Amino acid sequence: MATFTREERDEAYRKHYTCYKNYVEKIGIRRLINAVPWQESEIREAYSTDCYLNNLPLKKWELLHPHIWNLKKRACISPLGGWSISDSVCLLKHVAIYHVLKETLEGFLEHRHNLNHFGS
């Protein structure tokens, strides 16, 4: 099993962050923030114990895929690998963390480390 340093994990996440940040800019934050299926207080509570928001039921995120798909299509976004339900979920979680909670990327990385998600 491959092991990665904290710096390598952080760099990989920075790329993920940049990708979804670009999608937010192309689609528009107002459209996306209104699609987040949770109240700020629910997101904040979930984020306190899981920085990836995996403790919020996945089904509620997934049900928004058709809506996100249409927003993506209207914004003329055509990722090379296509667009999956997981892409929609990642985009909504990005919006929840960085726009609803107003977390910073560095704050997220530190929170992830403090929660010890990777054992280092």
Contacts of 63 (CB under 8 A, 6+ apart): 37
Confidence of residue 120 (pLDDT cuts 50, 70, 90): very low
Q: Residue 118 has what pLDDT?
A: 58
**Nearest partner of 111 among 66, 37, 50, 26, judged by Cα:** 50
Judged against a pLDDT cut of 60, whether residue 103 lies above it is answered with yes
pTM, two decimals, is 0.90
Least confident of 19-33, 74-88, 94-108: 74-88
Judged against a pLDDT cut of 60, whether residue 2 lies above it is answered with yes
Composition of the chain by helix, strand, coil, percent to 5? 65, 0, 35
Each residue's pLDDT tens digit, 30-85: 999 999 999 999 999 999 999 999 999 999 999 999 999 999 999 988 876 789 99
How far is it, in rounded angstroms, from Cα 113 to Cα 28? 30
- Domains of the chain, by residue range, sit at 24-114
Quick one: what percent of the chain has pLDDT higher than 70? Answer: 95
